[in-house]
Amino acid sequence: MPELPEVETIARGLAPQVEGRTITAVHVFNASTVHGTRALLTHKTAGCTVRRVHRRGKLLLMDMAAAEEGSPGPTHIAFHLKMTGRLFVYPQNTPPAAHTRLIFDLSDGRRLFFDDARKFGYCRALAQADFKEWDFWQTLGPEPLETGQQAFVERLRHRRTRIKAALLDQTVIAGIGNIYADESLFRARIRPDAPCNSIPEKQLRTLHGVMQAVLQQAIRECGSSIRDYRDAHGDAGAFQNNFLVYGRSGEPCRECGIPLFTSKVAGRTTVFCGVCQR
């Protein structure tokens, strides 16, 4: 599933292609891809202009401007890519492909496709008031790159849950998934199954710093491509070339040389070093 760096990369690549363009029509090829009030997307979006493309947690957001003051169109369109969702801009008259779930026709003649092989991703059109009714949005935790060190420590230090489970919990902190949890915990020398309240505050402060460094490096390298992820130009990311633990089960630790361990934490395959992460 694309995590914070991948969604950030897609948003940055998509922005110059769609910002300032008006959506002239919306075509739905898979009804279950549309969450929330379907009519708001299918009947009220045409005529709205994309003002800004950005990210919140693992969500990609398009801020919309109505054609006229007081128009009932959406103020935002949100995409959750889940495992295999992709957003690409194609030339005029490009037909839908086998996995195309939505197409947005743009005023410059091009078409924004939302493709999703597994059909787990979704699109949601929202009026401003709808955010108050969207439980997922209301419970999202703070952004890891915008959270100060002490605030980060305070969110974790009294919790009894395991540290990796806490990092994966989008209500605790938004945007981190399996890849960047494993990589950050290795660099901070923290076992992924350690209870949060057992970790010294000094180590939690270290984790805050390395987590931000890992995320920033991954954004610079356009994310990690394991299977399906491609950016808004169709290019693969490069951060997977820097993995120290993720996906390297049984391989030698790059620090101490012993084989890396695998376990399950919060239901997710977790790779760590039994020596470096004591």
Catalytic residue among 21, 44, 55, 58: 58
DSSP H helices in the chain: 4-18, 38-42, 135-138, 149-156, 163-168, 178-188, 201-220
Q: Any catalytic annotation for residue 144?
A: no
Contact call for residues 119 and 32 (beta carbons, < 8 A): yes
Is residue 277 within 8 A of residue 190, CB to CB? The reply is yes
Distances (CA, A) of 61 to 8, 116, 117, 268: 10, 17, 21, 27
6 is catalytic: no
For the chain, the straight-line distance linking the first and the last C-alpha, in angstroms and rounded, comes to 28
| Catalytic residue status for 3 | yes
In sequence order, what are the beta bridge partners of 56? 59
What's the 3-state SS for 108-139?
A: CCCEEEEEECCCCCEEEEECHHHHHHCHHHHC
Is position 2 annotated as part of the catalytic site? yes
Residues with a known catalytic role: 2-3, 58, 268
